[in-house]
Structure 1
Amino acid sequence: MTLLSEQTVKSQSDYRTRLNASIECARFLLHQGLPFRGHDECECSSNQGNYLELLHFLSRNNEAIKRVTFSEAPRHNKLTSIDIQKDITQAAAEHKLRGRLRRKSQGITNLHHFRYELFNNIIDMQLTELDDRFTETSIELLLCMACLNPSDSFSAFNKKKLLRLALFYPSEFSIVDLMVLGDQLDTYIIDLRGDDEFSGIEGIASLAEKMVKTKKNLIFPLVYMLIKLSLLLLVATTTVERVFSAMHIVKSRLRNRMGDKWMNDSLIVYIEKDIFDKIDNEAIMKRF
């Protein structure tokens, strides 16, 4: 019994060492947005792909890893298969999403909320929709939004363009609302330019915060609605650009057969590197 117990403890220890080495390889590749697999992963191949080559490198330079990997590992427990690579990636991505839930309880900014909550929806957008984001209409929308900028005592303010901005949101502004909005804009610009609370503020986000603090959002509710819609668009646009920039790296031409699930997990980890770097291997092991 003692001998059996010792073998079991050694087997578990070897497994953890082997799994930790596999996670380290996956961590490096995910962090850099590099492909895992090679075109020819057989033992006689001169290049088995990044994942296996990295694991070989670790085993050559670490005796503890060398003793439990490849030929030294149990035949059906080498932890080198494509399924294992996917499972480790999924474990890392899912743990990153538990980390997000924990941080919610600590209080987060609106920017943080939208950046994370919009991610899964944005990733599913069709590429054809994104191809249209820089049309003439989109440029006009951004120019109209710029008129809300409070810098230099609201020097960019333009009532006509802001009314045009409201027309982009017919579900939010009825014909009657548009008439009321025109009157609100006239009063709004006079009020805020004469209020010392609003002197020196920069950016639409700061404007929104100051309006809530001074309760101007209750006095000019339709103007405040325009500001909120503009902030949502700015966050969504930035997030879209970030996600698809990462997509070009993670799913390159050489990885065009990469499955959606693996790509999604890889993107989560690659984009949120700051969180991934704080997750230790022990946590990934438990999730794995």
Structure 2
Amino acid sequence: MKNSSPMEVELKLALAPEGPAALVKHPFLASEPALQQTLVNTYFDTPEGDLTNARIALRLRQVDGQVLQTVKTAGQGGGGLSQREEWEWQVSGSQLDLAGLAALPPFQGALGGVLDSLAPQLRTDFSRRSWQLTDCLVTPGSTGQGNHIELVLDEGAIISGDYRTSIREMELELKSGEPEALWKLALKLAEQVPLRPSDSSKASRGNALSNQHWPLPEAHSPEEWLHRATLALDAYHDSQLATFLTHAHDALMRLAEHSALDETARAHAQALTNSLDPHGQPNTAFGKAALAVAHRLAYQTALR
């Protein structure tokens, strides 16, 4: 078994419809070679949703003639940034490696008893373009040492039964270096690419789509209001229910008015309240402000 990344640190960003074209034209990427792949992914769970309830995602991915089995735990974070455990290894065919699963920490307890009940529940099929970026590419003139970020652009669909929703997102994964590099790169890209933070994984989006249920968490702190707004926007675009766009606007207003914000964060939060178009799509002003306030809140949290 290969544990390729015991702790994954990434920043997930949803793109406006014009976002992919703007991204590939960005100066950071325009002259850099991209690896292009087609990924076919099947997610597994029990009929009762035991893995979903435990906030664990299990998938088989077909890519480049290989089949990879991946387990991911729930991400910790917000504003698009998450840290989570991940195990991934190659398997010989389209059947789950149940023995390999049984050896992993998430399946040492009660979940170890449900392995025989696992079955396919949803698919995510998409094309992926990926770039490997180092300091010298992200910051011209630097030595190129220390930070290595994989940038991926995914375009495709999530399919669950009769339900379907689009995938149009960018992920920045820290391969080596400091998480601060993710923020710096995202802020640079946001100057030309219309985007917004996303706190919903493809698996969680697919599960919500299957159940036609998009719960939103209660919020009190600035971090919680930003998280609620982010999830509400994710829910709106997958459900097309106007109530979630209303929830998103309300959460952004609550965030901007929160007494715990410092002057810098408040200025960024106030810019968010009028930077979505009527269809809930971000412009570059929204992306820059959302990343700036998320970065500021993450910095303040780290100081506590």
| Same fold per superposition (TM over 0.5) | no
| TM bucket, shorter chain | under 0.3
Please say which structure displays the higher CA radius of gyration: 1
Structure with the largest fraction of helix: 1
Higher relative contact order (CA 8 A, sep 6+): 1
Q: TM-score w.r.t. structure 1 length? A: 0.19
